[in-house]
Structure 1
Amino acid sequence: MRVLEIIGICVVALLVVLLAIFLRRRLLMAGGGTIRLQVRVSTMVPGRGWSSGIGQFVGDELRFHRMFSFGVRPKRVLNRRTLAVGCRRLPAGPERLTMPGHWVILLCTTGRNELEIAMAESTVTGFLSWLEAGPPGQPGSVAPRPTITPRPVER
């Protein structure tokens, strides 16, 4: 009888954990402006180190939340002002096993750091539009003209 109680408690605990992860994911996606993506967190083994998650657009930031995590805070925050996309490629080697075939990998730079992001091909267009639609003053954009203030008239 004691063994059945322990097994029952373990099953209930597992169900509570799965429910908590599911509800967290639902809450993140309920606000809108979210996409499914993967971020390479480790480059020690070629083709490995990808982490699945949810990207949330909030103002000038893309916040990456891991898919299977209890954390409320994002794992990474990418600022639109410092983010630039270098090149794009299709998954190769072991990457083809970890992500769907219609996904594209983008090599991005954030300041001095390089970062690889993978997302669906249809999502890339929206991501690049969000990236290009930033406010004036972005790197590579034309600086605003100086404002000319009129001189006070002397009498």
Structure 2
Amino acid sequence: MEPLGLTFGVLAGLFGLLVAVIGAFLLRRYQLNRALGTFDASIRLPPRGWRVGVCRYTDLHLEWLSLLSLSPLPKHRFLRSSLSVSGWRPPTEDERVQIQPGAIVVQLVHAGEPFELAMKYDVYAGLSSWIEAGPVIGIGTWR
């Protein structure tokens, strides 16, 4: 095979691989958006900065999945009965460029460890209701 043909073949293969990876990211994003109980949310676990992703409700957990990953497994899982909302605040000027536009910063505590999620206000209302409606540990009844 000629050097020009070999170069073209390698470049075509790399381009095809790039298109396949981008397609996989788009397909994953589409599937996450279609699933019930999902919402866009950036997360900040001290001392790290903000990371963009998607949260998903399950019956017992709040799961956070990174948008920059093809893994179907959540990066972080928070037990519903161990979650509490400390409050919310508007983002600082520095945070506005790191999170989605129009989001608020929700301060949460999981098993004594604080972390923050950035989400739209209407999503926050749903999240706080979901947390408050969860079962109490060891009792088996609803709050």
- What TM-score do the two structures reach when normalised by structure 1? 0.79
Q: Which of 4, 8, 17 does residue 8 from structure 2 map onto?
A: 4
Say whether the 8 Å CA contact 1:42–1:50 is kept in structure 2: no
Say whether the 8 Å CA contact 1:107–1:115 is kept in structure 2: yes
Distance 2:73 2:51 in 1: 16
User: How many matched pairs?
Assistant: 137
Aligned to 2:119: 119
CA shift for structure 1 position 69? 0.3
Gaps of 5+ in 1: 145-155
CA shift for structure 1 position 143? 9.7
Counterpart AA for 1:7: L
Gaps of 5+ in 2: none
CA shift for structure 1 position 9? 1.4
CA shift for structure 1 position 115? 0.8
The secondary structure found in structure 2 opposite 1:81 is helix
More helix per residue: 2
Range moving further from structure 2, 84-93 or 23-32 = 23-32
Say whether the 8 Å CA contact 1:34–1:56 is kept in structure 2: yes
1:13 aligns with 2:17: yes
> Superposition pairs for residues 61-140 of structure 1, below 5 Å?
61-135=61-135, 137-138=136-137
Range moving further from structure 2, 97-106 or 110-119 = 97-106
Which of 1 and 2 has greater Rg?
1
Aligned to 1:153: none
Aligned to 1:32: 36
> Superposition pairs for residues 23-62 of structure 1, below 5 Å?
23-43=27-47, 49-62=49-62
Distance 2:79 2:140 in 1: 19
Aligned residues with identical type, % of pairs: 25
- What TM-score do the two structures reach when normalised by structure 2? 0.85
Distance 1:29 1:94 in 2: 27
